[in-house]
Amino acid sequence: MRRVGFFGGTFDPVHRGHLEPARVAMDALELDGVVFVPAGSPPHKQGDPVTAFSHRLAMLVLATQDEPGFYVSDLEAERPGPTYTVDSVPLLRAEWPAAQSFFLLGSDSFGQITTWHRWAELVDMIDLVVLHRDTTWGAHMTAEVPDWLAARIMHVTPGRPLPESATGVPGVLVVEHPPVPAAATELRTRVRQGLAVGDLVPPSVARYIGKYGLYRQGV
């Protein structure tokens, strides 16, 4: 591939708030592929209930199977936890070689980047692509990161040429797009309350959730 984006997350479950921004990023950055990477043991959710990796992976496969250029990696399936992004990126690059690679994350996660394991090493390792989550954006988001990292931010608008880093270090590409009002916490709550979730997930994922009785209990 010429350009590939790695999209990491818990994906518990995958929903519109993941899929639609990934499509926008794929177009805006002219990516040949977006690889969804479900976390094996999410560091920020140690001690919290997380759906089994096999279910989260299966739902991602269902959600992406008809999406050209969308792929799923099971890289973190067998790795002992917690699984850290800084360790996964080199392995992903070896698995999906490309002339240029990016790491996609939501703006809420970018605002918390300094809490990530070896985060300063990570931001010098790969270009970050920040997708718009309606909880964190703009000045509120940049205020949460060090000034030297905020200085790397470049805004990307679909249909316009990509900006290039003037410093030669990996950049932070903020993709300008409307936020998608969907969150996994809300989705799980709706399932537990017996409400429909077909407006938040692909039909195949909604059927899978129903078939295996996911999210009927817990948070």
Give 160-182 as a DSSP string: SPPP--SSSS--EEEE--PPP--
Residue 139 belongs to a domain: yes
User: Does the residue 184 lie in any domain?
Assistant: no
CATH number, domain of 104, equals 3.40.50.620
Range of the domain at 138: 3-179
Contact 50, 10 (CB under 8 A): yes
From edge to edge, which strands make up the β-sheet containing 172-175? Answer: 70-72, 33-38, 3-9, 100-106, 127-131, 172-175, 153-156
Question: 79-94: per-residue pLDDT in tens?
Answer: 777 889 999 999 999 9
* Mean pLDDT of the region 41-57: 82
Q: Which residue has the tokens 């490309």?
A: 98
In a domain, 82, yes or no: yes
Whether 214 is in a domain gets the answer no
Chain segment 58-113, per-residue pLDDT in tens? 999 999 999 999 999 999 987 777 889 999 999 999 999 999 999 999 999 999 99
187, part of any domain: no
Give how many domains the chain has, as a whole number: 1
Question: Residue 161 domain-assigned?
Answer: yes
Mean pLDDT of 43-55: 80
Flag whether 50 is in a domain: yes
pLDDT (0 to 100) of residue 190: 94
End-to-end Cα spacing for the chain? 39
Q: Give the model confidence (pLDDT) of 146-157 as tens digits.
A: 999 999 999 998
